[in-house]
Structure 1
Amino acid sequence: MDHYSFLRQFADSWMLLVLFFFFVGVVFWVFRPGSSKTYRDTADIPFRHEDKPATDKTDKEART
C-alpha cells in the first residue's frame, strides 16, 4: 500500500471520527451551563463605554 492510499483511508475513516467527536466536544463546551456569564461579558465589550468614549492615552500625551 502506498503512502497516499494509506493517508486517504485514514482520513476517510478514523480522522473523520476524531474530528466529529472534537466538534461535539466543542459544542458541549460552548453550551455548558456555567459558560453563559463568560459569553455575556464578551458580547458586551462593544458597549462598555457607551456613555463616555474611551480615551486614547497616546492622544492625551500628544496634547501636553
Structure 2
Amino acid sequence: MEITHDLLAGLSKSFGLFYLIALSIAVTIYAFWPSLGNRFDKAANSILDDEDGPCR
C-alpha cells in the first residue's frame, strides 16, 4: 500500500474531526457536572459582588 498525500490528508481530517467531537463532548460534560455548579455560580456573581456603587 502506497502512502499518498490524499491518504494522509484524509486520515488527518478524520482524526481532527473525531478529536474535536470528543473535545466538545468532554467540555459539555465538564460544564454540566453537578458538583461544579456552585463554582460556576460563584464565578458568575463575583463581578457583581465587587461593585461599590455607580460609576462617577
TM-score by length of 1: 0.62
Instruction: Specify the code of the residue in structure 1 equivalent to 2:40.
Output: Y
The structure whose Rg is larger is 1
Residue of structure 2 equivalent to 1:29: 30
Unpaired runs of 5+ in structure 2? none
User: Secondary structure at 2:30's aligned position in 1?
Assistant: helix
Shift in Å at residue 11 of structure 1?
3.0
Unpaired runs of 5+ in structure 1? 54-64
Deviations 1:4-55 (A, max 9, x none): x31x2123312211210111011001100011111101101221134x35xx
In 1, Cα distance between equivalents of 2:47 and 2:14: 43
Instruction: Specify the code of the residue in structure 1 equivalent to 2:42.
Output: D
In 2, Cα distance between equivalents of 1:9 and 1:17: 12
**How many aligned positions are there?**
49
Instruction: Specify the code of the residue in structure 1 equivalent to 2:17.
Output: L
List 4+ stretches of structure 1 deviating above 2 A.
none
> Residues 1-64 of structure 1 correspond to what in structure 2 (within 5 A)?
1-2=4-5, 5=6, 6=8, 8-50=9-51, 52=52
TM-score by length of 2: 0.69
